[in-house]
Amino acid sequence: MKIPRIVLAGATSGVGKTSITCSIIYALQKRGFSVQPFKVGPDYIDPSYLSTISKNETYNLDVWLMGKKQVLESFVTHSNSDISIIEGVMGYYDGFEGNSNHASTHHIASITKSPVILILDASKTARSIAATALGFQKFHKNSRIVGIILNKIGSKKHEILCRDALEKTKLPIIGVIPKNPILNLESRHLGLISTYDNKILKNKLEKITKIISESLDVDEILKIIKNPISIPKNKIKTNKKSQVKIAVALDNSFNFYYDDNLNALRRNGASLTFFSPIKNKKIPKCDGLYIGGGFPEILGNDLSKNQQMKKSIKKLSENDFPIYAECGGLMYLTKSITNDKKKYKMVGLIDAETIMTKKMRLNYTKGKLSCKNILSNTLHRFQGHEFHYSQLKSVASDSKFAFDLEIGEGIQNHRDGIIQNNTLASYGHLYFDSSNYAQIFVNNCMNNSRK
């Protein structure tokens, strides 16, 4: 199967990968091509930018979470546009460990057999930029790097110095982007601010992409993707007939979901209905509840004020209703969230309090299920990830945990996934297609509907 594709990689984090990837998407669309975006790594925010510009859902590609086979399957399944574009994560060779490329952007480029454009921040260098580029070319015997984009060029003279130095790489320069403060995107916590329901940010993003696109060599990009290496086709997966309805929390506080997870639920017989814990007074009629991650602390006051919603969720759990919550969802189910010395009362289902901290907890996770739960009937090993700026305090001593972690911090003492009634709430995020999580959750919802 021939899929025209390209990977955008950075020498480091913060070189402008997201805004430049969005600009390439915009430029290709202006030429009449449809574009399918992908994002390397466990990221929920950058994909919202790519989706805003492409008007297509963005899918994550992460070897740690998904495994090599599932990465390729997801990439092929969702590459239904004229061109697929993959935004990298961190620096090109940064992954799970320092002595291998496992779970890095380079690993994804190798699995998908994609050509790579390397983005370099030229703001504090000139001739030395060639040493950086040559290092990335030669660090791995098959770097897959086929071109360079120079970002934050200070002047025409600066550009000439960089171009002259880079001649020895024999790589084409695909774009030269002038330094411009209006091209900077705001950030929050772990990365950028989500574009979900944010018209001001969406408008700014569209303005930035138009400006940057004028500095790109689109003809050279099209030349690079013209003759893609063939990769195997997938077997077509079909959705089971809808048997249950799962309500999914989706608003400005909760919008961190992998589209593959939502599709896995649909494939296993669930129809999804969406609701807002901020705006809606009650949960829509359903057989199960999924509360994903996000920033509940930012709108803690609004969440706290919606007493009817909080009471209804707690009552559902007390009646053994299937509820799965991740990270922000876990925080929402605790007694309270304290942020900047302000304390907001939450659902109160989980006997613990959430405290926002300045310390970032960002890890791939690995461990074993210590007991059966609404996502699993077996005590198997798993891999996931966690990232948050909060921790749980005053966790009840008799709390029951589902996950024992070898890698990662979890809620307490390397344990994660509090089980309360038929509710599972964890800091960790799971990729549903790495096991039969979606099928088991749907089955639990089905059993609930028959009561």
Q: Which positions are annotated as active-site residues?
A: 327
Position 14: which residue type?
Answer: G
Q: For strands 353-369 and 400-407, give the pairing.
A: antiparallel
Q: For strands 288-291 and 145-153, give the pairing.
A: unpaired
CA dist 49 and 296 (Å) reads 20
Torsion of CA 260, 261, 262, 265, to 10 degrees: 120
Torsion of CA 49, 54, 59, 64, to 10 degrees: -60
CA dist 102 and 26 (Å) reads 31
**Residues 6 or more apart whose Cβ sits within 8 Å of residue 351:** 335, 394, 395, 396, 399, 420
Q: Give the C-alpha distances (Å, rounded to integers) separating 146 from 9, 392, 450.
A: 11, 47, 57
CB-CB contact of 286 with 329 (8 Å): no
